Amino acid sequence: MLGYATIIVPGYFLISYFKRSNYLDRGSGLCYPLIKTCVFGGEDKSGLLDDVSVSSRNEPDSGSSVKQAIKLMFCAAGLQASYLTWGVLQERVMTRSYGAVAPDHDGEKFKDSQFLVFMNRILALTVSGLCCVLFKQPRHGAPMYKYSFASLSNILSSWCQYEALKFISFPTQVLAKASKVIPVMLMGKLISRKSYEYWEYFTAVLISVGVSMFLLSSTTSKHPSTVTTFSGVVILVGYIVFDSFTSNWQDNLFKYKMSSVQMMFGVNLFSCLFTVGSLLEQGAFFESLAFMTRHSEFAFHAVLLSVCSACGQLFIFYTINQFGAAVFTIIMTLRQAFAILLSCFLYGHSVTIVGGFGVAVVFIALFLRVYARSRMKLSRQSSLPQKV
């Protein structure tokens, strides 16, 4: 946090100074375009939380329902494939030893997960930057500093997630992860002033209950804590709040009519600044580079991990842009259940009665969600005046 503060605090004072001094009207010189892009962008003075609604962007009226369904399945499949692969690679990198040349030599284990985060972000920044240069993009209007909020909240949510595992029991962990849809919807009302129908809340609760039943009946605890402490609950609440804020803030930024790769570039730019600053201050950056030069196999695994992360980010921002934060969270919640269900089919593990009932509840909730949305669309179309 101190490492991040060395970037956040000076940045806050600089932005406040430029806004108070009316720099946009009186500024000039070589630095003027850079400061205008970073601090003011192309926004009007009403700011981010204005009356512009982002809900219309996520409505499926612009195309047929079949096209929207295909697009949603594409997003869901891309997210599942990217992050299932990413999870397997991450576990392999963080748990296996490198450089073991003999049975009596254990080799070295890589322990700095923050460097892996930096690797993921720098590759995603490079990919998105190349896409912005090579392909035509919409005119960018958002002030660059606003990407830092999503970047910082994403970093803090990741830290809270890992730290909370030390202080909460396994059932508490499962229930929290499976119930993220409701906090995301409530955060959407706070940040984007979104309104949700009663059936959207109802189906979100059903999905949370179904996924919780399936996960609790199909998995066993593998982390050190078997009890839930007060500090663990506080950190867990922090994880849910920061994670809900991240996707909703990104969703709200899309009102500037930016593309997914522009969003990806802005968020990863600040993630790289935060992580490299912290790594340099801790002295871990060059140690990790030295580890990478000693073990070429680790370098290959780290690059492969970063490729999966970059692909996953492309799907994340595209899904949020097309369908909103709530739908994205539902997909990521179902990802945990899909992973276990796939393991049951591949390795012959049995699914308990409670787990099977949980899966049925999830499918019923998804069916109700699709049915209610289609009925709502039909009623809206019937209420429009007919052309003679």
> Does the residue 175 lie in any domain?
yes
Q: What is the pLDDT of residue 265?
A: 92
Do residues 254 and 54 lie in contact, with contact meaning Cβ atoms separated by under 8 Å?
Answer: yes
For residue 146, count CB atoms less than 10 angstroms from its CB and return exposed for 0-12, middle for 13-18, buried for 19 or more: buried
Q: How many CB atoms lie within 10 A of CB 90?
A: 18
Euclidean distance between CA atoms 81 and 79, whole angstroms: 6
Q: Is residue 51 domain-resident?
A: no
What pLDDT, on the 0 to 100 scale, is given for residue 126?
92
Domain extent, residue 253, equals 1-16+66-96+111-382
The single-letter DSSP state of residue 145 is: G
Per-residue pLDDT at 45 = 39
Tokens of 50: 């204005």
pLDDT tens, position by position, for the chain (388 residues)? 777 788 888 888 988 888 888 777 776 777 778 888 888 876 543 444 444 444 444 444 445 677 888 888 898 888 888 887 877 777 677 777 887 665 556 678 887 777 888 888 899 999 999 988 888 888 888 888 899 999 989 888 877 876 776 677 766 776 777 788 888 888 888 887 777 788 888 888 888 888 888 777 765 555 555 566 788 888 888 888 998 999 899 888 888 888 888 989 999 999 898 888 888 888 888 888 988 888 888 889 888 888 888 888 889 888 888 888 888 888 887 776 776 676 667 656 667 788 788 878 888 887 887 778 777 777 766 665 555 4
Cβ neighbourhood burial of 263 (10 Å; 0-12, 13-18, 19+) = buried
Which pLDDT does position 245 carry in this prediction?
92
Residue 304 maps to a domain: yes
Query: Could you tell me if residue 36 is inside a domain?
Result: no
Number of folded domains in the chain?
Answer: 1
Six-digit token pair at 109? 């284990």
Burial class, 196, CB count within 10 angstroms (exposed 0-12 / middle 13-18 / buried 19+): middle
Residue 55 falls inside a structural domain: no
What span, in angstroms and rounded, lies between the C-alpha atoms of 328 and 33?
Answer: 35
State residue 49's pLDDT score.
41
Residue 343 belongs to some domain of the structure: yes
The answer to whether residue 387 is domain-embedded is no
According to DSSP H, which parts of the chain are helical? 2-20, 23-26, 32-35, 65-95, 113-134, 147-164, 170-178, 181-191, 198-218, 230-253, 260-282, 284-294, 296-323, 325-347, 353-383
In a domain, 332, yes or no: yes
